[in-house]
Amino acid sequence: MRQWSVILVLALGVILSVFSIGCSQRDRSAAIGGTWIRFDFQGNRFVLTLDPAARSYMIDYTADGQWDVSGECAFSGGQITFADTAGEQLCPETKGIYTYFLDEDFDENMLHLWLAEDSCSGRAWVTPGVWLAGNYEELLKRFDQAIAADSTDREAYYLRGRMWVALRENEKAFEDLDAAIKLGLERAEAYAGRGFARVWISRDYEGGLADYNRAIELSPDMAEAYLQRGRIKLELDQKRAACVDWEASFELGYLAAEKLMRYHCRYILKDRYLKGKYPKRRSTQEKQPQ
């Protein structure tokens, strides 16, 4: 069961670690208006509609064509603050706060939401990540053509690999990111994406650990990479090292890591808890984060 837990959390969270570095952080709220899509591992499509002018959003989480939640959103300082107002899956008294990026490599056809804070239990693992514009198929064709014209175009392999990750095509993502790295590309996002694919495809935790190690060497501030590396270390029975990684992720701003620390690391990090650095567990019956 723990193996599947690791795989699923990596699957839901890895997009964050793949794309967080190298994206513009300036306020570009006017450019993110429109409809964005992403897929789950069963091929179901999620739809997110953002209207910066009206400061509103709607999300279809269940791929049934009906809006599951809608509400108000504020754009400020490179962040989107979501506040639910209606729907079957709303959090009426809380907000989810996400930083957002538009990746210029995709001609503003990819929306990246990176989690800054989650106060809506469970929403953290659904909304953040990469959402593609409706013309993502045209973008894939563009990269196909570039690779057909030049089989050594590592940038094309890299960009197409990132799209495959967003589309949950893990085998294809591994092939493209592996090709880009073997052609000499040294980017943290490429190694993080390949590491995720290794774990998902074959549970290659050692290979995934090596890739995340390299990603962190290239980008020491990649908060999500520390979180995902900690998950792998836990699976490899390196619990103390996992806690160190989660603490680093938390300190770098990935607040969701606090839930993992609270469940797994209270004894290992007991000095920090005694000093009040991290919050105490809310309940002795608290469940393990999924």
Q: DSSP string spanning 201-256? A: HH--HHHHHHHHHHHHHH-TT-HHHHHHHHHHHHHTT-HHHHHHHHHHHHHTT-TT
Q: Are residues 155 and 222 in the same domain?
A: yes
Residue 88: inside a domain, yes or no?
A: yes
- For the whole model, what pTM was predicted? 0.73
AA letter at 86: A
Q: Are residues 173 and 156 in the same domain?
A: yes
Q: 191: domain CATH number?
A: 1.25.40.10
Residues 151 and 262 in one domain: yes
Side chain identity at residue 88, one-letter code = E
Are residues 120 and 155 both part of a single domain? Answer: no
Q: In terms of domains, do 33 and 123 share one?
A: yes
How far apart are the C-alpha atoms of 88 and 23, rounded to whole Å?
A: 33
Whether residue 89 is contained in a domain is answered as yes
276: left (phi over 0), alpha (psi -120 to 50) or beta: left
Q: Taking CA 229 as the corner, what is the angle to CA 188 and CA 276, rounded to the nearest 5 degrees?
A: 115
Do the domain assignments include residue 180? yes
Each residue's pLDDT, cut to its tens digit, for the chain (290 residues) gives 444 444 444 444 443 333 333 333 345 667 788 888 888 767 778 888 888 888 888 888 776 778 888 888 888 767 788 887 887 766 656 666 777 767 666 667 778 776 666 666 555 556 767 788 878 888 899 999 999 999 999 999 998 998 888 888 889 999 999 999 999 999 998 999 999 999 989 999 999 999 999 999 999 998 889 999 999 999 999 999 999 999 998 888 777 788 888 888 877 766 665 455 555 443 333 334 43
Query: Which residue segment(s) compose the domain that 140 sits in?
Result: 136-274
Sign of CA dihedral 191, 195, 197, 202: positive
Q: Are residues 115 and 160 in the same domain?
A: no
**CA atoms lying within 13 Å on the CB side of residue 152:** 2
Boundary residue ending a domain (133, 150, 172): 133
Q: In terms of domains, do 80 and 118 share one?
A: yes
- Which one of 111, 133, 155 terminates a domain? 133
Q: Which tokens is 75 given?
A: 């754009």
CA–CA distance, 288 with 1 (Å, rounded to integer):
12
Q: Is residue 108 part of a domain?
A: yes
Distance, CA of 288 to CA of 290 (rounded, Å): 6
Start-to-end CA distance of the chain, whole Å, equals 11
- Domain holding 79: CATH number? 2.40.128
Report the domain count for the chain. Answer: 2
